[in-house]
Structure 1
Amino acid sequence: MTLQIELSGVNKYYGAFHALKNIDLSIKKGTFVALVGPSGCGKSTLLRSLAGLETISGGDMRIAGKLMNGVPPRKRDVAMVFQSYALYPHMTVEENLTYSLRIRGVKKAEARKAAEEVAATTGLSQLMKRYPRELSGGQRQRVAMSRAIIRDPQAFLFDEPLSNLDAALRVHMRKEIRSLHDRLHATSVYVTHDQIEAMTMADHVVVMKDGVIEQQGSPIELYDAPVNRFVAGFIGSPAMNFVPAIVGDDGLHLSLQFGAGLAAGNLRLNQPLKPGSRILAGIRPEHIQLTEAGKGQFSLPVAVVETTGSATFITTATTPEISMVVQGRSNVKSGEQVGFAIDPALVHLFDETTGKRI
């Protein structure tokens, strides 16, 4: 498959601050890529660099095979959708859609026809004569996306486009954006701090931290085999539990340390490790099973029980806290002692010092 976007050794400095550090990233044509990470990790800087809104300090950047170093935004043939919609308030929906075509010299009738076709795709046909102030947040975001689509660009760049919407509308718009991507066979780069958005929408997820790509791959690859503690803790909701542990004298058992005054839980390892070594055991909340007290691999006191109806979230009174998810409802009460069981095959092991996967 043809590469649509190629970044090789890309660096970006703001004075002495190194915002992007030797970024290598290849995006195939038609792929939906999500850039995720905490605030300040460099994901928006990377997106703005692709758009030409930031000038890279080093490395090469290609779009559709053409070198983009120093090329101004208007000549990059990419379309950007912003968090703030960035619509022209004095123009109707139709005028907002046709503006980019009109300034390129496209005839008025041809531009209107293109706008009608895009509006039919995005569900805006009945809103063409309205102004942005007369639209809901979801409708404004659809106008912003439609304005990008009408340009038929080499790539779509989304900068946290759903951050201003309420929770229900975000879920709805996630489906709309992904559906549009599939219908258009587009190449999309989507920046978000919400890893659920990334996991549900993207073909390829890029996890960033401090200007570096920590890991990239399919959502399932990142979920099943995170390369370090940071990625493991960032991907998945609720977040992964990290428990200090000591490898037993036989090298085949792991003693989980739950804090002072609490019995250690023992797990059998699937691979031998150095006896006596200290590591971190990563356990996803959804991989812990609830049992009767004394019948699991370990028993712990419960601190908090939260019920949503479809699932129950249980947090233990330990240091560190252990979170688990029970599908459906549970009779467990705060202050009770309950048993927990863990499948050793689902436990992730990390070096206590470096945080790297073992």
Structure 2
Amino acid sequence: MSAQIELSNIDKHYGAFHALKNVSLSIEKGSFVALVGPSGCGKSTLLRSIAGLESITSGTLKIAGQTMNGVPPRKRDVAMVFQSYALYPHMTVEENLTYSLRLHGVGKPEAKAKAAEVAATTGLSALLHRYPRELSGGQRQRVAMGRAIIRNPKAFLFDEPLSNLDAALRVHMRKEIRALHDRLGATSVYVTHDQIEAMTMADHVVVMRDGVIEQQGSPLELYDRPVSKFVAGFIGSPAMNFVPGVIGPDGMTVALEIAQSLSLPLAKRQEPGRKVLVGLRPEHLVIGEPEQATLRLPVAVVESTGSMTFVTTSTEPEMTVVETRRTLVRPGDTIGVSIAPNQVHLFDPATEKAI
């Protein structure tokens, strides 16, 4: 596969503020790439730089093999879908869809035919003569996507497009966007602060922090093999538990510095006596009989959602355990918890890098 978008050593300064720091990223043609990270990490700045809405300070940006440094947005042949739908309120759905085509001199019959085709793809056929005020939030977002699709661009750039929707509609729309991407064979770059959106929609996830790429790879690569405490804590819901620990004398166990703990077995030998930060995903901890389990933990809070129960311990630091079966555990109980050796993550307390 060839790179549809290629960023090489991109830097972006806003005066003294260094927003993007030597960012290099190759986005393959036809792939769905999610840029994810907390507010201020640089993900939207990177997306806007690809679109040409921000000028890069240094580095090289190529789209479909052509260098785009200094090329205005309208000549980059990319389409953006924003958090705000940015629809023209005085135009019907059909007029909103065909506006960009008519600006480029496409005749009315051809523009109408293309609008009908895109409306069929996005489920808007029955809404072509409505105005934006007569549409729901999900329908307006579909019109915004349809307006991008009708141009047949080299890439689709999504900037947190689902943030304004309610939770159920967000789940529905993320399936729609991914299905649309697959039908069109498009190249999509999707910015979100929601790691669930990134994990469920993207082929390739790029985790950003303070203007740099902390880690990139497939969703499961990031989940299974995080390179740092930051990535480990950002990917996965509920977030990973982090507990200080010390490697045992044999190098194959780690003792946790929490109440009533025994030693956890490790998959690989480590340096005996080394201080570590132990990462344990809540969903990998299995509740069993306290006498037979690896850890014994006092319970502070029990929250049931019906399909899952979240158990929070009264240890310092506190830990979360996710139980998928019905449980009789109550606050004040002591639970036994076990975990497989290959699901124990170790990080250096000073650098926070994976060991």
Name the residue aligned to 1:310.
307
1:97 aligned counterpart, secondary structure: helix
Name the residue aligned to 1:120.
120
Any unmatched runs of 5+ in structure 2? none
CA contact (8 A) 2:261 2:296 kept: no
Matched, 1:344 2:332: no
TM-score after normalising by structure 1: 0.98
Any unmatched runs of 5+ in structure 1? none
Name the residue aligned to 1:218.
218
1:22-101 equivalences in 2 (<5 Å):
22-101=22-101
Q: Deviations along 1:215-261, whole A, 9 cap, x unmatched?
A: 00000100110001000000000000111000112222210111xxx
Q: Deviations along 1:275-330, whole A, 9 cap, x unmatched?
A: 21100111100100001222211211101111111111111001111101111321
Letter of the aligned partner of 1:218 in structure 2?
Answer: S
TM-score after normalising by structure 2: 0.99
Q: How many residues align?
A: 355
C-alpha separation in 1, matches of 2:332 and 2:323: 17
Name the residue aligned to 2:277.
280
Letter of the aligned partner of 1:311 in structure 2?
Answer: M
Name the residue aligned to 1:111.
111
Structure 1 residue 2: Cα displacement: 1.5
Name the residue aligned to 1:187.
187
CA contact (8 A) 1:252 1:270 kept: yes
Letter of the aligned partner of 1:176 in structure 2?
Answer: E
CA contact (8 A) 2:5 2:27 kept: yes
C-alpha separation in 2, matches of 1:135 and 1:328: 41
Match of 1:326 among 301, 307, 323: 323
1:23 aligned counterpart, secondary structure: strand
Matched, 1:353 2:344: no
2:99 aligned counterpart, secondary structure: helix
Matched, 1:140 2:136: no
1:318 aligned counterpart, secondary structure: coil
Structure 1 residue 342: Cα displacement: 1.2
Moved more, 75-84 or 343-352: 343-352
Letter of the aligned partner of 2:294 in structure 1?
Answer: Q
Q: Deviations along 1:87-106, whole A, 9 cap, x unmatched?
A: 11111000000000000000
CA contact (8 A) 1:290 1:326 kept: yes
RMSD: 0.7
CA contact (8 A) 2:266 2:344 kept: no
Moved more, 313-322 or 263-272: 263-272
